[in-house]
Amino acid sequence: MIEFLKSIFYGIVEGITEWLPVSSTGHMIILGEFLPMSVSDDFWEMYLVVIQLGAIMAVVLMFWWQLWPFTKPEKGLIKKDTFSMWFKILVACIPAAVVEIIWGDALEVAFYHYQVVAVMLILVGVVFLLVEEWNRTQTAKVNRIADITYQQAFLIGMFQLIAAVFPGTSRSGATIIGALLLGLSRTVAAEFTFFLAVPVMFGASFMKILDFGIHFTGYELGMLLAGLVTAFVVSVVVIRFLLGYIRKHDFKPFGWYRIILGVFILLFFGV
């Protein structure tokens, strides 16, 4: 029973941190140091990735009509802007997908440690403060997802690549920083980040499940479902909060949070 409660707690942390630019993977790795689960190493590596599907399903549910590219025959059957958006998302996925396929396992061994997480929390936190200070004097050039160019989409994907390599960077944080630097409004940057996560997380989860194998025990399946369902419910709340928050506020508080958390981790574990 205690292990299932741990999985629920992990789901809460995942649901909160997947969408806020504070690094969900980083938080999960650190949480694993404080609250380890009694599971095999193989299951744990798979769990860290697949639990994110719960958060992704929240996006699919909440933005279904913006994501679904088809419409009624009398309206033309397809939504051209939506198809265009998906092609841009696929372009943005290319850099991280190539690196994950070729070097994914090696990167996990090399960088998935609390030291890397702490350093990246601090560095990206500082970058957030600097970018937001610069962005305060700028006027957004892109106020609709439809206006994002393929070049901008690819460059956002390059920022996402940094998060794919270094845990603690935050996928959403890296893409939002890139989007702001490229002239996207905060709302468009956040929404494109949400949508970009859908194929990325589905693909990563599929690969992890294949690596693990479809041979879950009842205990493992229960643990995974507990985390997935919790992450889904919490993500719905957090996404609504974030979309409301960014209409009136910037991301500086998240930058300060990252810096404070990174310093705490280094001091707690010993630099």
Residue 223 tokens read as 């643990």
Q: Is the pLDDT of residue 74 over 80?
A: no
Q: How far apart are CA 7 and CA 3, in angstroms?
A: 6
Characterise 76 by phi-psi region: left (phi > 0), alpha (psi -120 to 50), beta (else): left
DSSP state of 89: H
Q: Is the pLDDT of residue 77 over 80?
A: no
Kindly report, residue by residue over 165-208, the tens digit of the pLDDT.
888 888 899 999 999 999 999 999 999 999 999 998 888 888 88
| Burial label, 76 (beta-carbon count in 10 A; 0-12, 13-18, 19+) | exposed
Residue with tokens 């913006």: 66
User: What is the number of alpha carbons within 13 Å of residue 251 lying toward its C-beta?
Assistant: 33
Q: How far apart are CA 155 and CA 177, in angstroms?
A: 11
Lowest mean pLDDT among 59-73, 132-146, 205-219: 205-219
- Rg from Cα positions in the chain: 18
DSSP state of 253: H
Return the pLDDT at 9: 95
Distance of CA 216 to the CA centre of its chain: 25
Q: Is the pLDDT of residue 82 over 80?
A: yes
Kindly report, residue by residue over 111-124, the tens digit of the pLDDT.
778 888 899 999 99
Whether 77 contacts 71, CB under 8 Å: yes
Q: Which amino acid is at 259?
A: I
Summary count for the chain: helices (H), strands (E): 12, 0
Q: Is the pLDDT of residue 159 over 90?
A: yes
Residue 72 tokens read as 């009624």
Kindly report, residue by residue over 127-145, the tens digit of the pLDDT.
999 999 999 899 999 999 9
Whether 130 contacts 267, CB under 8 Å: no
Q: How far apart are CA 89 and CA 158, in angstroms?
A: 12
Residue with the bigger pLDDT between 160 and 76: it is 160
Kindly report, residue by residue over 34-61, the tens digit of the pLDDT.
898 888 888 988 998 889 999 999 999 9
Q: How far apart are CA 148 and CA 47, in angstroms?
A: 34
How sure is the predictor about 99, in pLDDT bands with cuts at 50, 70 and 90?
Answer: confident
Return the pLDDT at 34: 86
Q: How far apart are CA 17 and CA 55, in angstroms?
A: 10
